[in-house]
Structure 1
Amino acid sequence: MVQGRWRTAGSALLRVIVVWAVSTLTLLALAGLLPDFQLQSDDGDSMTRTAVTAALGAGAFGLLSALVWPILVRALLLVPALVLGLLVFFLNGSLLLIALWLIPDGRGAADPETAVVVAAVMSAVASTTSTALAVRDDNAYRRRLSRLADRRRRRSGEDGSRTGTPGTVFLQLDGVGHQVLRRAADDGVMPTVADWIGNTHRLTPWRTDWSSQTGASQLGILHGSNHDVPAFRWYEKDSGRVMVSNRPASAGELQRRAIERTGDGGLLTVDGASRGNLFSGGADQLALVLSMAARRGRANRSRAGYFAYFCDPANAVRTALSFIAEVAREIVQSTRARLRGDRPRIKRGGLYPLIRAFATVVERDVVVAAVIGDMLVGRTAVYADLVAYDEVAHHSGPHSRDVSLVLERLDRSLALIAKVAEHAPRSYRIVLLSDHGQSPGETFEGAYGLSLKDLVRAGCGLPVSRRAERSKRGAEARDAAGDALRSALHRRVAEGAEQQPPAGSDPIVLASGNLALISFPDSEGRLSREQIERRHPALLSTLANHPGIGFLLVRSEEHGSVVLGRDGAEVPVKELTDYGPLAVFGKGAADAVRRTDSFPHVADIMVNSMHDPATGAVHAFEEQISSHGGLGGEQSRPFLLSPLELSAPVAAGGELVGAEHVHRVLRRWLLECEVPQVPVGPLEVSRPHGETEAGVPAAGPAVPDKSG
C-alpha cells in the first residue's frame, strides 16, 4: 500500500516537472517570436539567465492557473456563458502579466494584447502535455470515468446504490491457451488474473473442435452452432466461393446460417452488447462487429465504437502515443530477434508493425472503453474480444518475451474493467475466456523448403514454383510423385484400364494454421479417394507419407470416409479412435475428426500437419511460427475463468468439449443471473440478396430496440 502511494506520488511529481519543462520551452519560443514579449533585461542576458527567467515565469503562471483559476471560475458561474467565454482570454492574460511581474528584477514584460496570446498558447501546451502524460495512467483514466459515472447518476436522480440483478461481462482473450494463462499468472505477468484464480474465480480448460480458430469457436460460443465451419477459410463448390471467417460478407453469412440452424438470435439478445467480435451474438449494441460491418443506415453501429472513443481528445492522445510506442517496440523487437538469430523466425516488416499496433493498442483501447461504457450504463450482458495476444504470438511465438509484455498490458485492462465495475449501477460478474490456444513450430515451408501448395502440385504432376524446384524437398516430392504415378499406371495397365488418368482442374489449396483444405473445383460434391487416385495417382500417397503431415481425411467409396497416415496407415472414420494415426493428437481427436467429416462443405482432402507431443510443435501451412486451426498441442486447449458464485461449468470429472458446449454453459449462467431469455421460434431466413439492412437476419423477432 505504502509502495503504491509512493509510486503514485512519484508519477504525479514527474508529470509536474515535464509540464513545467515544456511550458518553459514554449515561453522561450514565444519570446523569440513575439516582438512585444521579452524575458531579458534591456541590456541583454545570458542564455542561462534567460532560461531561468522563463522557468520562473512558467512556474508562476502554472501555480496561478492551478490555484487562482478555479476560484475565478467559481466566482463567475452566474455570468452568462458567452460573456464568460470572452472573459476567459482576458483573465488568462491577466494571470500571465501577474506571473511576469513576480519574476525577480522585472525581466519579464509583455503588452496586454500579447499577454492574451501568450497565455492562450501556454494554457493549450500545458493542457496537452498534462493530458498526454496522464492518459497513460490507468488510475487517472479510471478516476475520470468514475467522475463521468457520478455525473450520470446525479443527472438521472440515482443515489448510487446498486439495485437489480447482476450483469455479466464476458471478456475473450483471443488465442490465449490454458497453459499460457496459467504460466502468466504463476510468473507474475498477469497479477490480476493470478489474484482471481482460486480466490474469486475457478479456472477450467476446455477442448476446441477440429477447427481451432476464432471463426468456428466464437460462432459456436455466441450463436450456439458452428456446424459446417470446417476451417478458417474453405472453398464451397455449390456457390463457387471461398469463405474466409474474418471477411464481413463471410462472417455475415455464417451468422445467418447459425441463426437459421438454431432458431435463436444468440447469447446477447436481451439487452446485450457485442464489442470487437466477428459475430454479434444477437446484441443490438454493436461496436467493431465484423458480421455487421457492411450495414448501412441509422442502425449501423458496427463502426460506431471508433467515433465514440476518439471524439474524446484525451482518448485520442492516449491511443496515439501508445500506437507510436507500439510501432517502435515492434521494430526494436524484430530487429533484436534477427540479430540474435532466433529460430523459428518469420519476416515482420512491411505493414506488420502498423497492423500489430492497431490490434494491440487501437482495438484494445476502443473495446475496453466500450465495455466500460456498457457497464456504466448497466447493460445486462456484454461480450468483448481482445485480439492483442493472438496477433503478436503468430509472429513472435506463444511463449516469447514479446507476448509477455502484451499479456501484462491486457492484465492492466482487466484490472481497469474490474475497478470500473465498482462504480457501475449494478454489480457485474466478469467471466474471462479464450476461443483457442496457439501451438509453436517452424512453418511447413521453412522446415521443408516448399509450401503445401507446391507439394500438392508436385503430387498432381503440375508445375511448381522455382523455389520449390530448387529445394531438396521439392526434388524428393517430385521423385516420390513420379514413382507413385508410374506404379499407378503399371497397375492400371495390368487391370486393362486407360494409361492416362482423366484431366482435371488445378486444385485449390487453402491454409488455416496447421490445417489445410484441398478442393477440386471442377467436380460436384466431395470427390472420393478412388476418384482422386484416378485423377492424380500420386497425390494421396505423396501427402500421407510426407514427414510434415500428420494425417489426411478423405471419403472412400468402399469404406466411407477414412483417415490416412504414414506407411499406408488407413482407418475408416466410423472405426476411428484416439490411437493409430491420431495417437499423438490427444484425447478427443477422433470425435473432432468424425464431427467435421459430417459437414456438407468438408473439403475433398483435409490435411492436418504433424505434431510432436514432446515439444508441442506443429507446422503452419501459412506464414506463422505460432498457429492454430487444426489439431495438435496447446491450440486445442483454451480456458474458461468464471466467478465462484456461478455454477461449475461441468460436473466433477466432466470435460468441457466444443464451442457449442461453452455456449450452453454461458446461457445457463445468464439464467442464474435471472436474465429473461426471449423465446424464439423458427426464423424465416432469406438468402443474401433478401437480407435485412443489417446484412443478416434480425437477432430474434421479440427483441426490443434499445438503440435509443
Structure 2
Amino acid sequence: MGRWRTTGSALLRVIVVWVVSTLTMMLLAGILPDFKLTSDNGDSITRVALTAAWGAGAFGLLGALVWPLVVRAFLLVPALVLGLLVFFLNGSLLLIALRLIPTGRGAAEPETAVIVAAVMSAVASATSTALAVRDDDAYRRRLSRLADRRRRRRGEGPVPRPPGIVFLQLDGVGEHVLRDAVDAGLMPTVATWLKGTHRLTPWRTDWSSQTGASQLGILHGSTFDVPAFRWYEKESGEVMVSNRPASAVELQRRAVARTGDGGLLTLDGASRGNLFSGGADQVALVLTVAARRGRRNRSRAGYFAYFCDPANAVRTAGSFVAEVGREIAQSTRARIRKETPRIKRGGLYPFIRAFATVVERDVVVAAVMGDMLAGRTAVYADLVAYDEVAHHSGPRGRDTDQVLRRLDRSIALIAGAAQHAPRGYRIVLLSDHGQSPGETFEGAYGLTLKDLVRAGCGLPVPRRARRTRSGAEARYAVRVALHRPVEDGEEARPGPGSEPVVLASGNLGLISFPDAEGRMTREQIDRRHPALLPTLASHPGIGFLLVRSQEHGAVVIGRGGAEVPLAQLTDGKGPLKGFGRGAADAVRRTDTFPHTADIMVNSMYDPATGQVHAFEEQIGSHGGLGGEQSHPFLLSPLDLTEPVPDGGELVGAEQVHHVLRRWLREGQGPQVPVGAEALAGVENSPSTGRPEGPFPVGGLTRQDKTS
C-alpha cells in the first residue's frame, strides 16, 4: 500500500505540474504577439487548451530526456559560455515541442521561444517544489531510497551513527567583516548560530595571507615554501601561480610529500569549488583536477549534475544576467559619484563577477547539498563570491553587503538540507584570510612597483613613470649611486646581469634576479644595483623589505633605511611598528622558505585607517601583512572541542588543519541542531517548518538531482 501511495502521489504531482504548465502556456500565448496556439481563423478555448497541453507535455518530456544529453555535449564549451547558452538551448527545445503538436497549431518566433521556455521552466520548478513541500513522508522516503541506493552501489553497509561535518569556506571574509555583518542584520543565519549553537574563533594567517597558502595548509597540512600567491623559481625559470592548474597540482604534490598524508578529506570526503582536492574522491570544480585528462576528471564535469535540470539552468542563467547588470549599474554609480578609491571594472569583469557570485555559488551549494543527502563523511566547499567583489568594490560597502546577504541564504539552504540527510551533520564556517582596503600603489603614486624597481636599477621605464615624483627620485638616486650625471631624457647605465622579475600578490611584492644562483644577498644587490634598496626603503608606499645579508643573515629594512637583523626583530617596534602581533614570527618563517624572493616587499600599513597599497589592481587586497587581511575566522559548533584550549591563539593554516582533523575524529556527543534555529531569516512553511517554496539560490528542489 505504501508503494502504491507513493506512486499515486508522484503521478498526482506530475499531473498538477502539467496542468499548471498548460495554463502558463495559454497565458503566454495571450500576452505575447509572436507566440500562437491557434489557427489563423481562431479556435475554441477547448482546442487551445488541448494544443497547450500537447505543447507543455512535449516540452516537459524533452526537458527530462533530451536536456541532460544536450548539456553533457556542451560540457566542452567553457562554463562561462555554457551559462549564456542556457536560454538558447531551452528555447530550442520549446520550438521542437511546438512542432510535435499533431494539429500543427503551435508557433513562435525564436526570440519569443526563449522567453516562453524560461517562464515555463521556472513555473514548473516552483509548482513541483511547492507540492513536494507539503508531502513530508513522501519526500523523506525518497531521500532515504536515494541514499540507500548510493550506498548499495558503493558496497557500503548502513549509515554510521556519528555525524558528518561540512566545512564551508567564505573566501576572503575576515573576522571583523563577519561580526559587522551579523551586527548589521546582513547574516541572520550566522547570527542565530552565534547566539546558541556555535562559537567564533579568530585565527592568524602566515605572511602570505591568500587562498593558495591558506587552503593548501587547511586541506593538506602544509604551507611550507608558499611565499606568496605567485613567485619565481630560479631552478626551473617558471612563475608559480596558485590558481594556475599546473601550479596547483605541483603545490599539492609537494604538500603531500612533506606531510606524508593525502589530505583532510581522504576518508569518504568531497571537495567542491576549491584550489586543492584535500585527498577527496568526490571532486567538483577543483583546480587540481582541471589539469588532469580524461572524461571523469574534466573540471567542467562538476557542472553537469546541476545543469542537467533545465529549471536549475534557467534560474542560474537568469541570475547570471541580473548580476552582470547589477555590476554595470554599481560601477557606473561609483564613477558618477567619483567614489575613491576606485579601479576600472569594465571589459570581461562583469561576466567574471557573475560567474563567481552566481554560477560557482549555485553549483557548489547544490553539490554540497547532494553530498549531505548522500551521507558523505566530510565535505569542504569554497564560496568565492565575497572575495571577488571585495577586490574590485572594497571590503565594505553596499556591493559587498548584498553578497554577504546571499551567502547567508546559501548557508541556510545547506543547513536545511541537513534535516533530510541520512546522517546528522555539523556545519563549520571558516575563512582563509580577510581583506584590507586602500588605494592601489599605482593609484597613489602614479607608477607600479615594477616601474619603481626598474627605475631603481637604472632600467628604462614608461614615460608616465618618469614624470612621477617617485620615478624622478629613483632616477636621481641611481645617478648619485653611480657617480655619473645623466641628462634629462637619457637613461642611466644599468648594472650587469638580467632584468629583475617583479611579481605582486596583493600588497606583497617579490623581486627576483633570474641570473643569480640561489637567493641574492644584500651585498650582491648593492654591488649590482646600488640605488635599488635605498629607493625602495625610502618610498612612502613601502613598509619594509626582507633581504639576506652576508654579515647578519636575513635583515628587515624599514623606513629611512633602518636595518634590523631578523633574529632581533620584534612586533610593534622598528620596521614592524603598527603591523600587529605575530608579524615578526611570520616574516621569520617565510625567510626559511627555499623560494623566498631575493627582495620581499611589504607595502605601507596605516593602523589608524587599516589601509594598505596593493601592488596590483585591487582596492580590497590580501597577500601580505597589514590590517584585516591577516585575520580570518573559524565558526564551529559548541559540541566540538574548543579549537585552542585555555584561550590560546590559533596561528597559521597548518594549525587550523590539525583542529579540523581532530574534529573529524570526534564522533561522539549530541548532534548540532541545524533545523528551525539554523534557518533563521528564512520563511518556513507553517505545516512543515522547512523553507517555503522553491530554493532561489542553486538549492536542490525536491525533483532535482542529488548527485
- Give the TM-score band, short-chain normalised: 0.7 to 0.9
Question: C-alpha separation between the residues in 2 aligned to 1:674 and 1:301?
Answer: 38
Match of 1:623 among 589, 596, 617: 617
Q: Does 1:560 align with 2:574?
A: no
Match of 1:321 among 318, 337, 344: 318
My pick for the range that moved more, 388-397 or 18-27, is 18-27
CA offset at residue 368 of structure 1? 0.7
Match of 2:502 in 1: 509
Q: Which one-letter code corresponds to 1:588 in the other structure?
A: G
TM-score, with structure 2 as normaliser: 0.78
**Secondary structure of 2:543's match?**
strand
My pick for the range that moved more, 649-658 or 606-615, is 649-658
Question: C-alpha separation between the residues in 2 aligned to 1:448 and 1:601?
Answer: 29
Residues 256-271 of structure 1: matches in 2 within 5 Å? 256-271=253-268
Match of 1:221 among 218, 221, 224: 218
Does the Cα contact within 8 Å between 2:25 and 2:52 map onto a contact in 1?
A: no
Match of 2:562 in 1: 569
Q: Does 1:390 align with 2:387?
A: yes
Match of 1:641 in 2: 635
Does the Cα contact within 8 Å between 1:551 and 1:609 map onto a contact in 2?
A: yes
CA offset at residue 307 of structure 1? 1.5
* Cα 1:261/1:487, change in 2 over 3 Å: farther
* Cα 1:138/1:539, change in 2 over 3 Å: farther
Deviation per CA, 1:550-573: give whole Å up to 9, x if none.
Answer: 000000000000000012211100
* Cα 1:24/1:261, change in 2 over 3 Å: same
CA offset at residue 481 of structure 1? 3.5
Match of 1:352 in 2: 349
Match of 1:671 among 654, 661, 665: 665
CA offset at residue 24 of structure 1? 2.1
CA offset at residue 302 of structure 1? 3.6
CA offset at residue 166 of structure 1? 0.4
Does the Cα contact within 8 Å between 1:647 and 1:669 map onto a contact in 2?
A: yes
* Cα 1:669/1:19, change in 2 over 3 Å: farther
CA offset at residue 135 of structure 1? 5.8
My pick for the range that moved more, 630-639 or 666-675, is 666-675
Question: C-alpha separation between the residues in 2 aligned to 1:142 and 1:385?
Answer: 30
CA offset at residue 125 of structure 1? 7.9
Match of 1:35 in 2: 40
**Secondary structure of 1:197's match?**
helix
* Cα 1:424/1:156, change in 2 over 3 Å: closer
CA offset at residue 652 of structure 1? 2.7
Q: Which one-letter code corresponds to 1:435 in the other structure?
A: D
Q: Which one-letter code corresponds to 1:570 in the other structure?
A: E
Q: Does 1:311 align with 2:308?
A: yes
Match of 1:132 among 108, 122, 133: 122
Match of 2:605 among 611, 616, 619: 611
Match of 2:297 among 300, 322, 326: 300
* Cα 1:633/1:157, change in 2 over 3 Å: closer
* Cα 1:298/1:127, change in 2 over 3 Å: closer
Does the Cα contact within 8 Å between 2:22 and 2:52 map onto a contact in 1?
A: no
Does the Cα contact within 8 Å between 1:135 and 1:318 map onto a contact in 2?
A: no
Q: Does 1:114 align with 2:70?
A: no
My pick for the range that moved more, 301-310 or 197-206, is 301-310
Residues 242-281 of structure 1: matches in 2 within 5 Å? 242-281=239-278
Question: C-alpha separation between the residues in 2 aligned to 1:126 and 1:500?
Answer: 69
Match of 1:519 in 2: 512
Question: C-alpha separation between the residues in 2 aligned to 1:558 and 1:257?
Answer: 32
CA offset at residue 318 of structure 1? 1.1
Deviation per CA, 1:484-536: give whole Å up to 9, x if none.
Answer: 443999xxxxxxxxx99851110000000000000000010000000000000
Q: Which one-letter code corresponds to 1:447 in the other structure?
A: A
Does the Cα contact within 8 Å between 1:135 and 1:141 map onto a contact in 2?
A: no
The CA RMSD measured in Å over matched residues stands at: 3.6
Question: C-alpha separation between the residues in 2 aligned to 1:283 and 1:392?
Answer: 29
Deviation per CA, 1:650-692: give whole Å up to 9, x if none.
Answer: 11321100000000000000000269xxxxxxxxxxxxxxxxx
Identity of counterpart residues, as a percentage? 69
CA offset at residue 649 of structure 1? 0.5
**Secondary structure of 1:587's match?**
coil
* Cα 1:299/1:16, change in 2 over 3 Å: closer
Q: Which one-letter code corresponds to 1:543 in the other structure?
A: L
Question: C-alpha separation between the residues in 1 aligned to 2:651 and 2:116?
Answer: 55
Residues 28-427 of structure 1: matches in 2 within 5 Å? 29-30=35-36, 34-38=39-43, 114=103, 117=106, 128-132=118-122, 143=133, 150-154=141-145, 164-297=161-294, 299-300=296-297, 302-427=299-424
Does the Cα contact within 8 Å between 1:286 and 1:301 map onto a contact in 2?
A: no
Match of 1:654 in 2: 648
Deviation per CA, 1:619-663: give whole Å up to 9, x if none.
Answer: 000000010000000000000000111011111321100000000
Deviation per CA, 1:15-61: give whole Å up to 9, x if none.
Answer: 999877524225874168x335347xxxxxxxxxxxxxx8x998x77
Question: C-alpha separation between the residues in 2 aligned to 1:321 and 1:152?
Answer: 28
* Cα 1:125/1:463, change in 2 over 3 Å: closer
Match of 1:107 in 2: none
Q: Which one-letter code corresponds to 1:308 in the other structure?
A: A
Q: Tell me the matched-pair count.
A: 594
**Secondary structure of 1:504's match?**
coil
* Cα 1:590/1:476, change in 2 over 3 Å: same
Question: C-alpha separation between the residues in 2 aligned to 1:136 and 1:392?
Answer: 30
Residues 399-478 of structure 1: matches in 2 within 5 Å? 399-478=396-475
Match of 2:483 among 483, 486, 501: 486
Structure 2 gaps, min length 5: 1-19, 66-100, 152-157, 487-491, 670-706
Question: C-alpha separation between the residues in 2 aligned to 1:355 and 1:403?
Answer: 16
**Secondary structure of 2:596's match?**
coil
Question: C-alpha separation between the residues in 2 aligned to 1:142 and 1:359?
Answer: 30
* Cα 1:285/1:338, change in 2 over 3 Å: same
Does the Cα contact within 8 Å between 1:228 and 1:599 map onto a contact in 2?
A: yes
Does the Cα contact within 8 Å between 2:266 and 2:279 map onto a contact in 1?
A: yes
Does the Cα contact within 8 Å between 1:19 and 1:129 map onto a contact in 2?
A: no
**Secondary structure of 1:280's match?**
coil
Max radius of gyration: which structure?
A: 1
* Cα 1:488/1:582, change in 2 over 3 Å: farther
**Secondary structure of 2:544's match?**
strand
Question: C-alpha separation between the residues in 2 aligned to 1:218 and 1:288?
Answer: 15
* Cα 1:143/1:472, change in 2 over 3 Å: farther
